[in-house]
Amino acid sequence: MISSRIDRLLAELPPPSDPDPNGASIVQELLGGRFGEMSTFLNYTFQSFNFRNRQGARPFYDLLANIAAEEFGHVELVCATINTMLTGAAKARAKAPAAALAGLDGVRNAQHFLAGGLGALPQDSNGRPWSGDYVFSSGDLIEDLTHNYFLETAARSGKLRVYETVQHPAARTLTGYLLVRGGVHQVAYARALENLTGADMTKLFPSPRIPTEKIPECRPHIKRGDHLRLYRFSESDYHELAAVFNGPHPETGEALVVEEGRPEGWPAFDLPSEPAAFAPDYAPEEIAEIAKRLRSAAGLPAEPSGEVANPVRRPRRSAAKAAPAASKRRR
């Protein structure tokens, strides 16, 4: 695998609103819990990295490799949600040695600010670290696919429970999206097993089984057809997805679709510094100043080149200031 990275999220998250540190600790289950995104990501990643006789079983290898790639993006999306929910949890503008974190002494996961900078951690909702024991990569394709089907099913139940528990808009947006995509993965693994063994998993165990059409945060994704679509996350490879992912959706009867190419994605909100938790520093403006100098020295534009979701601020005559900085470098 040669990695390539695109600085976009798989779903459009809302901007930070009222902080919800206890809700964020609940959302951790979807990141580092046994059935969280780290587990789906690393199960399919190990299974695909270990896959033998790829040419002999190419459609199944392609399926695992591509769902693994999507799951990496889900890991990022859960992190972005947790970070959004933790934004502003410290006392606004207060810094050490003021008691800027005093209001957080009763929250469920103190590690969010003691070990992390008000950010996500590879832990479950009780703060237990994610474990490699959650990865099942037996090398037996039918065993692995059966495990994956169960994993997706349990993951979706977990998402629904988090949806029921946490009402923060970022958490609701996240779970709405993940429930729809998890449904696609359930169908993909059920279809793979059906092709290999003839067993109809969707009859054995009703699947996807969650009424996503009744969940407002799921509806935009269903309307877009994302409940039917498996993406090919590669410019050049993994062309055999359609050999497995085809036929009618088990619930709606609509045709399943392989999308040739990755989703467009959404820019992330650039979350503000949290100086009370030293993220990215006690004095973040110093790092920004250094970055500006380095950018100028490297001949880069004065303004940062990245794309973020934050509303564009009108430059306050700073464009004029950039010119003398560039000439200073030439001296």
Applying CB under 5 A, which residues contact Mn ion? 37, 40, 71, 74, 182, 185
Min dist CB 17 to Mn ion, Å, is 24
CB-nearer residue toward Mn ion: 217 or 274: 217
Min dist CB 37 to Mn ion, Å, is 5
Min dist CB 148 to Mn ion, Å, is 8
Alpha helices in the chain (DSSP H): 21-27, 29-32, 37-49, 58-86, 111-114, 141-165, 169-197, 201-204, 219-223, 284-297, 318-330
**CA 290, CA 285: separation in Å to the nearest integer?**
9
Burial label for 268, CB within 10 Å (0-12, 13-18, 19+), is buried
Min dist CB 70 to Mn ion, Å, is 7
Phi, psi at residue 291, to the nearest 5°? -60, -40
CB-nearer residue toward Mn ion: 109 or 175: 175
Min dist CB 296 to Mn ion, Å, is 41
CB-nearer residue toward Mn ion: 19 or 182: 182
Q: What are the tokens at 98?
A: 């003021």
Q: Please measure the distance between the N-terminal and C-terminal CA atoms of the chain and give it in whole angstroms.
A: 45
CB-nearer residue toward Mn ion: 11 or 271: 11
Nearest to 184 by CA among 251, 135, 238, 233: 251
Min dist CB 309 to Mn ion, Å, is 22
Nearest to 48 by CA among 245, 241, 243: 241
CB-nearer residue toward Mn ion: 74 or 168: 74
CB-nearer residue toward Mn ion: 185 or 221: 185
